Structure 1
Amino acid sequence: MSPSESEAAFLARYDPADYARPAVAVDLVLMGLSAGRPALLLLRRDRHPHAGRHALPGGFVGIDEALEDAAARVLREKAGGVPAHLEQLYTFGAVERDPRMRIVTVAYLALLAEAAFAEALERAPTLSFGTVALPRRGVADEAEAAAPVTVLSPTGEALRLAFDHAEIVALAMRRLRGKLDYSEVGFRLLPELFTLRQLQDVHEAILGTPLNKPAFRRRMLDRGWLEPTGRFETGTSYRPAELYRFRPTSPSQGD
């Protein structure tokens, strides 16, 4: 390049074909709760590679498409556009992660409240779900980080996941566990109005361990995250519990 060459002239003669370009995809970890356990929405692949295995909903990023737009499109096209909290999880770029060609995928964590999780299954009949089994939190950090993820079918059978999707799901669970105590992620799995019992159920499901009820409630109330509504749940056979809503404490709460 000549020192006197303008940027416009440089770009005019620049040839992108001089460099090999990998394909870029997005994959969504669509997660909610089912029967007190973390659950995923999955697609069963009907073509090679990994035909017959279950996979995270995903797709290739268009050449003129932003990553966030691609993630929103996949959510719309493959999960019926249900409301979800989307946040970028991690980029997976192992050279041989896909046998077809060099594909780098950007994984997104998409958290669904119970109603949205059920609605996605209704809107997208190609979707199925599996529950996630991971070691309880509290084991050695190295052991938890290296532990393989197991995704179970509704009948309890282990599902074989395509590509490196088991690794993606394992990282998503570790991210959830790591952020649960200081961010709003747990509230993204709840309806707008919820009881303290429902909030504890979410924490226990993600952590995989029971929590002390009085200590948990005291900690949640002391943090200033909960706004009482003065309303109570209905349709219960027991004493109805008060309903709360999440109250963000700062603009960076979800970071």
Structure 2
Amino acid sequence: MYRPSDFPPFAVTVDLVVLTLRSDELCALLVRRGEAPHKGRWALPGGFVREDESLDAAAARELAEETGLDRVHLEQLGSYGDPRRDPRMRVVSVAYLALAPDLPVPVAGTDASEARWSPVDTAGKLAFDHGRILADGVERARSKLEYTPLGTAFCAPDFTVAELRRVYELVWGTALDARNFHRKVTGVPGLLEPTGETTTRDGGRPAQLYRRGPAATLHPPLVRS
């Protein structure tokens, strides 16, 4: 017979890996904790799930509170439940990954004293197990660029192939051959749709503008070398 008293209580939180590109670097949103535990340490934004909300709703609420945004790519990344990950009590965290271009200067939430965009390679040691969660989020973003149109989430609605290539270079951390990349992305069915417009914002000759096409997966994939 099931008796709730036979099982210890535990809390559920959501933690957010929010990635964007700033000053030609892949950056993550970090907050400096204003309360114990780990007061003064940098951490991922997040918070406790309220009794009357779903996990997705909690993640969306935390994202809106920390960035002011409510319409960005947001997906569940994984769950983290080491019994010793939080000194207060047993806390299971469900992490989410959010990606968007040109995100604004962050505003610290109610339990944070400061917020900033930090290059993912120099984020340093984070509170709790957030270093592991951040690493998992970055790898998820890098791998999904291979087989989904996720790279376009970092672009403006209308973009050039050169701008998309720069996204791949910054997220993957490697330089790509311009002609080879152009051939690959324009050859993937449903990835890009021409807008019929051109721009000179990349410098040089007018470049074709594209928008994201209807493809949900890339065939063939854009494999990292």
Find the counterpart in structure 2 of residue 155 from structure 1: none
Deviation of residue 191 (structure 1)?
1.2
Counterpart CA distance in 1 for 2:75 and 2:86 is 23
Equivalent AA in structure 2 for residue 203 of structure 1: Y
The one-letter code of the counterpart of 2:178 is K
Residue 121 (1) aligns with residue 129 (2): no
Counterpart CA distance in 1 for 2:163 and 2:215 is 21
Please list every run of 5 or more consecutive structure 1 residues that lacks an aligned counterpart in the other structure: 2-13, 134-149, 152-158
Q: Does residue 78 of structure 2 align to residue 90 of structure 1?
A: yes
Partner of 2:92: 104
The separation in 2 between residues aligned to 1:79 and 1:20, in whole angstroms, is 35
Distance 1:90 1:83, change over 3 A: same
> What is the TM-score with the length of structure 2 in the denominator?
0.87
State the partner residue of 2:139.
174
Which one-letter code corresponds to 2:56 in the other structure? E
**1:21 deviation in Å?**
2.3
Structure 1 vs Structure 2 CA RMSD: 2.2
- CA shift, 1:126, in A, is 4.2
Aligned residue identity for 1:207: W
Q: Is the 8 A contact 2:108 2:114 kept in 1?
A: no
CA displacement at 1:54 relative to structure 2:
1.0
Q: Which residue of 2 aligns with 1:10?
A: none
Map of 1:165 onto structure 2: 130
Q: Provide the rounded CA distance (Å) in 2 between the counterparts of 1:76 and 1:237.
A: 35
Contact 1:83 1:112 in 2 (8 A): no
Identity across matched positions, percent: 43
Q: How many residues align?
A: 214
Query: Aligned residue for 2:38?
Result: 50
Shift of 1:98: 1.0
Residues 133-162 of structure 1 show CA distances to partners (whole Å, capped at 9, x for unaligned) of 2xxxxxxxxxxxxxxxx41xxxxxxx4311
1:240 paired residue number: 206
Give the corresponding residue for 2:167: 202
Equivalent-residue separation in structure 1 for 2:118 and 2:46 (angstroms)? 17
Contact 2:107–2:114 (8 Å) recurs in 1: no
Aligned-partner residue type, residue 194 of structure 2: P
Give how far 1:240 is off: 3.4
Partner residue of 1:26 out of 6, 14, 38: 14
Q: Which amino acid in 1 is paired with 2:89?
A: M
The answer on whether the counterparts of 2:67 and 2:107 sit within 8 Å (CA) in structure 1 is: no
Deviations along 1:2-32, one digit per CA (max 9) or x if unpaired, are xxxxxxxxxxxx6423311211000111100
Aligned to 2:29: 41
Whether the 8 Å CA contact 2:66–2:106 is kept in 1: the answer is no
Query: 2:222 is matched with which residue?
Result: none
Tell me how far apart the structure 2 counterparts of residues 191 and 82 of structure 1 sit (CA, whole Å). Answer: 16
The 2-side partners of 1:20 and 1:97 are apart by 16
Opposite residue 189 of structure 1, the aligned amino acid is: F
- CA offset at residue 53 of structure 1? 1.2
The SS at the match of 2:120 is strand
State the distance in 1 between where 2:155 and 2:26 align: 13
Task: Flag structure 2 segments of 5+ consecutive residues without an equivalent.
Answer: 219-225
Higher relative contact order (CA 8 A, sep 6+): 2
2:187 equivalent in structure 1: 222
- Which amino acid in 1 is paired with 2:42? H
TM-score by length of 1: 0.77
Q: Aligned in 2, Cα 1:61/1:180: closer, same or farther, shift over 3 Å?
A: same
